A and B are shown apart, each in its own frame.
Chain A
Amino acid sequence: MTVGTHTGSIRRLLIANRGEIAVRIMRACRELAIETVAVYSDADVDAPHVRAADRAVHLGAAPARDSYLDGAKVIAAAQASGADAVHPGYGFLSERAHFAKACEDARLVFVGPPSASLERMGSKIGARRLMVEAGVPVVPGEAPADQADASFTAAIERIGFPALIKPSAGGGGIGMKIVRTAAETVDALAAARREAKASFGDSTLYVERLIERPRHVEIQVFADSHGNVVHLFERECSAQRRHQKTVEESPCPALSATVRQAMGRAAIAAARAVDYRNAGTCEFLLEGDGDSARFYFLEMNTRLQVEHPVTECVVGVDLVHAQLAVAAGAPLPFTQESLSQRGHAIECRIYAEDPAQGFIPQAGPILLYREPQGPGIRVDSGVAAGSIVSVHYDPMLAKLIVWAGSREGARQRALAALREFVVLGIRTNIPFMIQLLQHEQFVAATIDTGFLDREGVAIAAATVQELPAAALAAVAEHRRLGSRVSAGTPGTPGSDPFLTLGGWRG
């Protein structure tokens, strides 16, 4: 092992992911003088994460199961490129115990928890049982062993309506179905099984009582292989649409110091119960606010989260650096006593979707792209001008993260940054975010997890506005210049006779 950095045993890291998270991990590697290996599918040959890496290995066809989800191909790529470690990012193979085990067997450092911890937390059913034993409060629920429709129907009768059907593997809201009446149960089970099978390769389900109008508050934890476990406070993630998070922030305005401490202790207990190592997140539902609020353990995500930058901003740590140090066997670079929250951070997930058309995901080329800049503004992105957004992967293009001294300061900064964030060629949720951040309930910080499902359509409708005449004048000039260029360029189609000044229509 070389001396020098605390990540000395990791010299070349393969990043088994794509998009913004792969780019973000590679940035940390450059800072730590670790060489990077990208992997890519047919759809990502020219993707930013491939260009950002020192080496790149082709995995296979565009569908994830033929590329980013094919653990054997990823391990072969790591061995062929001489990597000594693998960072799975989030999604894809990040929470698959068999992949972590395969890395261990191939003598590759898996930048994540031991496969044994993944096995225990990866099954949400098993995790629930463990949490009950560890004294962590959980939502009432059942996991029928035979997985039969009739057993679920009976379980839901006992738990009570409304109930929430969830896949045992995976996360991100995929495959989750709310059942409000007995008649909906069978269809919901079928849809949940299909989505779970397609996304996680495992159709095992469980069911819980749905706590109405809760907040989603999660605690970041971190454990090393020397017995140290700390928490890095909370993230408030209640702004979700169909269980997909859209805006996250920290601190959570509804959390009192007492409840924050209790949740931190519960999260540490949860991590210790599975001999955890790595960055992890304990997700809780929060009922009520202030000192009387109650919290229930939802699940533990055994990976780096999409919204980890919110914690990095408020706590002043680099979670990927810490992951690499811990994976290399070093102790945690921080102690519980050294950690505190400072200021307020907000993250907006930028999705390729059309809020005005029912949030339908968008695919196609990005014609023009420019990220906002300035004090307290961070953008983690996996696209650039010329990128083609593919139908094969998650529609998240980028994350805008802002930090300011207060929540209101962060809200204003996020709004100003969103108004400077240019993505042309496909629709995104940026205009929707601008409306959401100005909504009176966002301003008042009273959003629960059902808010966007109730109000999302109305907020989306508010994005449809008349364009200022200035915008139309710019389009007319663009057309005039464009037609002049193409008319003067041999071999290209002639100028469009309809692209004349004043020919636009609002």
Chain B
Amino acid sequence: MADPSVTAIGAGWYLVDDGERRWRVAVAGEGDTQWVFVDGQVETIEAPKPGRRRARSTDPGVMSPMPATVVAIHVAPGQTVAEGETLIVLEAMKMELPIRAPRAGVVKTVACAKGDLVQPGVNLLEFE
């Protein structure tokens, strides 16, 4: 297939002709992540980041997937937990969101308190 021709047709909109048919594609976002829409399908596309190591050796711990409020903490430091056990209960957008243990282990620290508004990507709890 020949290289598709791409024509910008308005803020964030592109008309792409791949030789077979034409597609109307919307793209948004600056920097490393672009959001793309075509025919009801939505994806994010990351720019490749050479020089940044992918793997991290540290334990990922337990994080909130989104901004949320801590409504209950079911564990304390030193406590042994089984995989899948509910550690913390968060609430976001009127829904309770149980955070479960990703593996069996011993809780080292609890880095949040009941009532805290927690952000995604921040450890709520560490395992030993």
Contact = CB atoms under 8 A, between A and B. Distances in A.
A475 B36 contact: yes
Contacts of B71: 194, 198
Given A199-B94, A368-B37, A475-B45, A422 B26 contact: yes
A367 B35 contact: yes
A470 B38 contact: yes
Nearest to A433: B40
B28 A477 contact: no
Nearest to B86: A187
Interface stretch (A139-147, A287-295, A328-336, A496-504): A496-504
Nearest to B11: A368
Interface in A403-458: 418-425, 427-428, 430-431, 434
Listed residue (A194, A370, A434, A472) with the most chain B CB atoms within 10 angstroms of its CB: A472
A391 B68 contact: yes
A419 B24 CA distance: 11
A418 B40 CA distance: 6
B92 interface: yes
B4 A469 contact: yes
Interface size class of B (residues with CB under 8 A): 35 or more
Contacts of B26: 368, 370, 422, 424
A504 B34 CA distance: 10
Interface in A151-189: 172, 174
A479 B36 CA distance: 12
Contacts of B37: 368, 422, 424, 471
B18 A424 contact: no
A474 interface: yes
B59 interface: no
Interface residues of A, number: 58
B83 interface: no
A503 B48 CA distance: 7
Contact of A477 (B6, B11, B32, B45): B6
Nearest to B49: A498
B29 A506 contact: no
A422 B16 CA distance: 17
A199 B46 CA distance: 38
A149 interface: no
Contacts of A470: 4, 16, 18, 23, 25, 38
A434 B34 CA distance: 22
Interface string A468-503: 111111111111011000100000000010110001
B53 to A, nearest CB: 16
B12 interface: yes
Interface in B1-47: 1, 3-4, 6, 8, 11-12, 14, 16, 18, 23, 25-32, 34-43, 45-47
Contact of A368 (B12, B38, B97): B12
Contacts of B25: 470-471, 474-475
A148 interface: no
Contacts of B3: 473
Contacts of A505: 45-46, 48
Interface in A459-474: 463, 465, 467-474
Contacts of B6: 473-474, 476-477
Contacts of A476: 6
Nearest to A417: B40
A370 B13 CA distance: 11
A353 B35 CA distance: 15
A394 B14 contact: no
A191 B96 contact: yes
A467 B25 CA distance: 11
A468 B11 CA distance: 21
A363 interface: yes
Given A198-B91, A363-B67, A393-B93, A471 B38 contact: yes
Contacts of B36: 424, 467, 471-472, 474-475
B66 A475 contact: no
Contacts of B78: none
B35 A424 contact: yes
A479 B8 CA distance: 12
Contacts of A391: 66-68, 92-93
A498 B47 CA distance: 7
A201 to B, nearest CB: 13
Contacts of B29: 367, 424-425
Listed residue (B18, B45, B67) with the most chain A CB atoms within 10 angstroms of its CB: B45
A340 interface: no
A424 B4 CA distance: 23
Contacts of B43: 467, 471
Q: 8 tightest CB-CB pairs across the interface, nearest first?
A: A367-B28, A474-B25, A419-B40, A424-B35, A474-B14, A470-B16, A478-B27, A368-B28
18 contacts: A194-B71, A198-B71, A198-B91, A199-B94, A367-B35, A391-B66, A422-B26, A424-B35, A424-B37, A431-B40, A471-B41, A475-B25, A475-B34, A475-B45, A477-B6, A481-B8, A496-B47, A499-B47
